[in-house]
Amino acid sequence: MNHRGDVTTAYVLTWIVFTCLMLLVIFGSLFFWLDSKLYPPTDTFEAEAALLAQRLLYSPNALGYFDALSNRAMPGIIDGTVLDDPEIEARLLTAITPDNNRGA
C-alpha cells in the first residue's frame, strides 16, 4: 500500500514547489530593493518653489515693479498697484508659464 516511490514523489514535488516559491519571493524582493536603490525618488519641491518665486518677483508681467522711464522691471520690488488689478490672475498666469518668461 505505502510504496516508497509514492512518498518520494510527493516529497520531491513538495520540495520543488516550496523551493520555486521561495526563489520567487527572494528574487522579487531583490528586484524591488535594487529598483528603489538605483532609481531613488526625486524631490523637486524646493526647486519648483524657488523658480516660481523668482518668476513672480522678477518678471515684468507679474508682481514686480515696471519702470516706464527705463522701460524695464525692477527686480525684487513688488508693485502694490498690481495687487489691485482685476486681471491679476491672467497676468500671473502669463508670468509663470515658461514660454513667456525666457531669460536674456
| Residue 104 confidence (pLDDT) | 41
The reply to whether 58 and 22 lie within a common domain is no
Number of Cβ atoms within 10 Å of the Cβ of 96 = 17
Of the chain, the percentage scoring pLDDT greater than 90 comes to 18
More confidently predicted of 64 and 26: 26
Count of domains for the chain: 2
The reply to whether 34 and 56 lie within a common domain is no
| Residue 69 confidence (pLDDT) | 87
Segment 46-59 mean pLDDT: 83
The reply to whether 2 and 36 lie within a common domain is yes
- Residue 101: pLDDT band (50, 70, 90) is very low
- Residue 21: pLDDT band (50, 70, 90) is very high
C-alpha cell at 93: 498666469
The reply to whether 10 and 57 lie within a common domain is no
* Domain of 57, in residue numbers: 45-100
The reply to whether 24 and 8 lie within a common domain is yes
CA 24 to chain centre: 31
